[in-house]
Structure 1
Amino acid sequence: GWVFDHSEGRSVYGMQYATAVISGIEGIFPLNLDLKTKKGPSKIVMQIAVMKRAITAGLEFSTVVFDSWYFASRLILFLEREKKDWVTEAKSNRKIYVDGRWVRLKDYADSLNIRDMTAYSIDGESYFMKSITTGMRNVGKVQVIVSRGLNSEKFFVTNRIDWKPRKVIDQYLRRWDIEVFHRELKQDGLGHLYQRTHESLLGTAKLSPLGALLLEISAIRSLESHLKIGKGTPGLRFRSIAMRVLVDLLKAMENHGKEFLDALLESIRKPYKSTMGVMGGQIAKL
């Protein structure tokens, strides 16, 4: 259906996925690629379910980083209950408590003088930042960082009020890892995927991250070096979980493989008329 593409700033006709990765010194490991439907649960609910499964499976992670689209009280309450650190970007209309009243982040930033801010250099670019620990409406006590660049102004929020601004920004920049995952998916064909049945889209949603996950695991040089990874990284547990997922997938393919492949091939052979003859030649090569 029609979904908003933030990279193009407009609505496009396509599919929408909820994605999550776990990132450590060994690589970027896909956790989830779920198809979002209009009648299904919200992305917030979907991501909470993903983290619940990860925690139940024994995956250790300390910090959750997400963009402003996921900055909702329901997700924050879940992370606080699980005692997870979190960092996010906030929209400018969020309200914080300053000098006895609630003000928008944008209004607070406009009241700042450049002399009130500290200069930082990140990737060769200069930024002026101001940190304040205060209350945020519907969130609670947080650290807010106003970051002012040459042509931009951003707001970052975290529950770690003890972190220095530079560490907060460094943690948030780890969110780029999921963009790397998105880029790899598009390069591997997801960007030109014109499947039209729910079954084939769901199959792609499961097989694509599984393939990426197995490639990451195969890059680990040895079991001995893997065992040296410390707490808070994917660890050996990730390997065993991935292998169980692979075994389950192979068993499912053995039992229902023909039905799955038939549905997949049918969707490839019969795209919507609006795209027939446009991408058909490329689809056949997938």
Structure 2
Amino acid sequence: MNHPNTFSLSLQKQSDSGRIIDDHELNRAFTELKFRSLARQSNITKKRGYETLSLIFVFVLLPFLKRSLSSFCNGGYLQNYVQAHKDTFYRFLNNERFNWRKLVQLLASKIIAMSKEVPLKEKVLIADDSICPKSGKEIELVSYHFDHKVRRSILGNQYLQLGFHDGLHFFPIDGAFHTSSHRPNTDMRDIDKRTNGWKRRKEALSKKTDVLVQMLDRAWKSGIDASFVLFDSWFAHDDIVRRIVDVGYGVICRLKRNRVKYGYRGGAYTLKQLWQQIAKKQTVWIKDRTIKGVCLNVTLKKTGSVRVLFVSDGRKQWQALLCTDTDLEPSRILDYYARRWSIEVYFKDAKQMLYMGKEQSNTFDALIASQSLVMIRYLLLVYIQIKHGLNACVGPLFRQTSDNQSLWMFSRAVWDHVKELIFKSSDILSYRIEPDLLFHFIDIIEDLIAEQSRWVTAKL
């Protein structure tokens, strides 16, 4: 078997040792994870028409075939999966009654339970947000957000993501949209106020910090154990830290240099004052690190006792991290916070490979469905990694799976043309080959193709 050159070295070695996935592992995952049952529990069902699972599978498959929904429906690919029209798929995406959040959480919890058990200290939750630019001002709940990368406000959707990390793999477990007050239009789809779609619209108009706490509360109630929640300085507020601790998780985050006062040995200091007057003089080289640091146990008005780690390059640059565990060593705090990078990798993979932000619809319900499908695709790839003991990133795995699916589609199309040519030439061939023998030959090939593609048909 030839392997793509884009494989990482670790994945290439595992592939060479015979532990890599075969062509239809992605398809088998649907059956092994009992996806139909998960969808039914999430109210993602249809009373009539094409089966729900078949439609979801087509949506999951699109990035692996490098196709948009419109090109997929118009290019003749659809007939190999389900005999549905394009409108069927768009109506499915726009269904406001589907509970996509529950489907993602059920799937994530199931895959996490199948992974190798690790100590509680290795488990963390990671929160971050990202902006997906949009060009249509008529998109429901689209708004302007300040993008720190380009240092200006851009039109788009801001996506808040919560993920679980067990030391090896990142699992997206929840997501929400945030709409700012700067909106080019105020139009909203008129739907039943009792539906999941309306609840998600209300959530999008809520404060982002409140939504984060709600997401963590859902994770706690669903049984997701973690020692800390990791996030950047944007969420680093005394009230937010206190509310997260009340939920049941510890916090490690980067701190802002603002006017917040920290209590230390009877005095009240800003972060900058703590550094200049106390911490700077006490820094020492951190073990196995090329930076200096020192921990100070301080108090916050609402959270109470916390530990602040000051780190410096030994010159003028310095940063501060907060940890709610007042006994944690500086090196361990840095180790934990470094794992926050995994959510940045997730955003990169989701945008470049899994079609995050590339949905083509003006309705908010389709946006929710599309982002949920991004998480589902990622979770399926992580499941395949866990199943085969792979520890590399999902990028090489995605590329191989994509190549395998594209190859199957191509071979199917070639056979359809060959079969059509055989039927058109049957009168000529029948002089030398008995018709029954000819049809028996065709049946053998069809059975082989059906055997290879049995997991990707509409009869899932």
TM score, norm. by length of structure 2 = 0.45
- 1:98 and 2:240 matched: no
Residues 207 and 192 of structure 1: CA distance in aligned 2, closer, same or farther (over 3 Å) = closer
Partner residue, 2:296: 132
3-state SS in 1 of match to 2:161: strand
Partner residue, 2:344: 179
- 1:108 and 2:250 matched: no
Partner residue, 2:227: 62
Q: 2:211 aligns with which of 20, 25, 46?
A: 46
3-state SS in 2 of match to 1:126: coil
Distance in 2, matches of 1:165 and 1:102, equals 23
Partner residue, 2:321: 156
Mapping of residues 248-267 of structure 1, within 5 Å: none
**How many residue pairs get matched?**
222
Residues 97 and 114 of structure 1: CA distance in aligned 2, closer, same or farther (over 3 Å) = closer
3-state SS in 1 of match to 2:291: strand
- 1:219 and 2:385 matched: yes
Distance in 1, matches of 2:156 and 2:292, equals 39
Residues 113 and 29 of structure 1: CA distance in aligned 2, closer, same or farther (over 3 Å) = closer
TM score, norm. by length of structure 1 = 0.70
- 1:190 and 2:356 matched: yes
Q: 2:285 aligns with which of 114, 119, 137?
A: 119
Amino acid across the alignment from 1:185: A
Distance in 2, matches of 1:58 and 1:114, equals 41
Which blocks of at least 5 consecutive residues in structure 1 are unaligned? 226-286
Partner residue, 2:86: none
**8 Å Cα contact 1:26/1:220 also seen in 2:** no
**8 Å Cα contact 2:264/2:297 also seen in 1:** no
Distance in 2, matches of 1:153 and 1:193, equals 41
Residues 195 and 95 of structure 1: CA distance in aligned 2, closer, same or farther (over 3 Å) = farther
Partner residue, 2:242: 77
Residues 157 and 141 of structure 1: CA distance in aligned 2, closer, same or farther (over 3 Å) = same
Shift of 1:184: 0.9
Distance in 2, matches of 1:196 and 1:121, equals 53
Partner residue, 1:12: 154
**8 Å Cα contact 2:172/2:379 also seen in 1:** yes
**8 Å Cα contact 2:279/2:294 also seen in 1:** no
Mapping of residues 16-31 of structure 1, within 5 Å: 16-31=158-173
Distance in 2, matches of 1:153 and 1:5, equals 24
Deviation larger for 188-197 or 61-70: 188-197
Partner residue, 1:241: none
- 1:167 and 2:309 matched: no
CA RMSD, 1 decimal:
2.5
Larger RCO (CA within 8 A; separation ≥ 6) = 2
**8 Å Cα contact 2:209/2:235 also seen in 1:** yes
Distance in 2, matches of 1:109 and 1:19, equals 32
Shift of 1:73: 3.6
Residues 69 and 163 of structure 1: CA distance in aligned 2, closer, same or farther (over 3 Å) = same
Identity of aligned residues (%): 23
Shift of 1:43: 1.7
**8 Å Cα contact 1:35/1:205 also seen in 2:** no
Residues 194 and 7 of structure 1: CA distance in aligned 2, closer, same or farther (over 3 Å) = farther
Q: 1:201 aligns with which of 356, 359, 367?
A: 367
Shift of 1:83: 3.3
3-state SS in 2 of match to 1:15: strand
Shift of 1:152: 2.9
Shift of 1:91: 0.5
Residues 219 and 82 of structure 1: CA distance in aligned 2, closer, same or farther (over 3 Å) = same
**8 Å Cα contact 2:251/2:324 also seen in 1:** yes
Shift of 1:86: 1.4
Which blocks of at least 5 consecutive residues in structure 2 are unaligned? 1-142, 181-203, 390-460
Distance in 2, matches of 1:202 and 1:161, equals 39
Shift of 1:114: 5.2
Distance in 2, matches of 1:166 and 1:25, equals 16
Amino acid across the alignment from 1:19: Q
Shift of 1:195: 4.9
Distance in 2, matches of 1:109 and 1:41, equals 35
3-state SS in 1 of match to 2:175: strand
Larger radius of gyration between Structure 1 and Structure 2: 2
Amino acid across the alignment from 2:147: D
Residues 221 and 76 of structure 1: CA distance in aligned 2, closer, same or farther (over 3 Å) = same
Residues 57 and 138 of structure 1: CA distance in aligned 2, closer, same or farther (over 3 Å) = closer
Distance in 2, matches of 1:185 and 1:218, equals 17
Amino acid across the alignment from 2:221: T
Residues 26 and 132 of structure 1: CA distance in aligned 2, closer, same or farther (over 3 Å) = closer
3-state SS in 2 of match to 1:14: strand
Residues 13 and 154 of structure 1: CA distance in aligned 2, closer, same or farther (over 3 Å) = same
Amino acid across the alignment from 2:290: S
Partner residue, 1:247: none
**8 Å Cα contact 2:242/2:302 also seen in 1:** no
Shift of 1:155: 0.8
